[in-house]
Amino acid sequence: MSTLEFGLDTFLPITVDQSGRPVSGDEAIRNAIEEAVLAEAVGIDSFNIGEHYRTEFMDSAAPVVLAAIAGRTERIRLGTAVTVLSTQDPVRLYTDFATLDAVSNGRAQLIVGRGSLTESFPLFGFDLADYEQLFEEKLDLLVRLLREQPVTWSGKFRSALEDQFVSPPIPEGHIPTGSASAAAPSRSCAPRASACRSCWR
């Protein structure tokens, strides 16, 4: 019999305090950490952070915030909602979450997607015309890194890997990972949106 679980997702929004004053960005980040600590205390199963590069959201460095939460909690699972894989380096993403998994004692989880909000593409020097290709190529590399190492791989958008080990290693079954669907930002750059995949690990 399956068990019903509850999780919280956040973009670390800029909110207002009791006097109506907008909180600062650093306050929003610290508030999110306290919210995660409280979420664990009341029995929530997971706490997940999005990824945006906008003035109203402070969620541009989710692994850093999640690591801070890991140091204040013991049980709650820690993940993303959603990581924009298309503009991330899969090797760096793997190392960030493998490290988070280690410091949290196996509580890391990861949801990746193309990005329905596309501000990260020009910010990191990617062309929206490559929207689909970027995701599919980077997904392929990330899955390989998660499943088995060493990795031999080549693609269009980053340097090739040959018999490459990437540290830290992760135990079998750790970092459950899936892909979220998202509305296409335009018909020309994303003619289709994927359905959610089942976990690969």
Which amino acid makes up residue 119? E
Give CA–CA dist 79/89, Å, rounded.
17
Q: Is residue 190 part of a domain?
A: no
Q: Could you tell me if residue 1 is inside a domain? A: no
SS3 at position 136? helix
Contact criterion met (CB below 8 Å) for 70 and 107: yes
Give residue-wise pLDDT tens across range 23-56: 999 999 999 999 999 999 999 999 999 999 999 9
Mean pLDDT of 81-95: 97
| pLDDT tens digit sequence for 144-168 | 999 999 999 999 999 999 999 999 9
The structure's pTM equals: 0.88
Domains held by the chain: number: 1
Q: What is the pLDDT of residue 67?
A: 98
Judge whether 171 lies within some domain. Answer: yes
Check which CATH number belongs to the domain holding 62 and give it.
3.20.20.30
197 belongs to a structural domain: no
- In one-letter notation, the amino acid at residue 30 is R
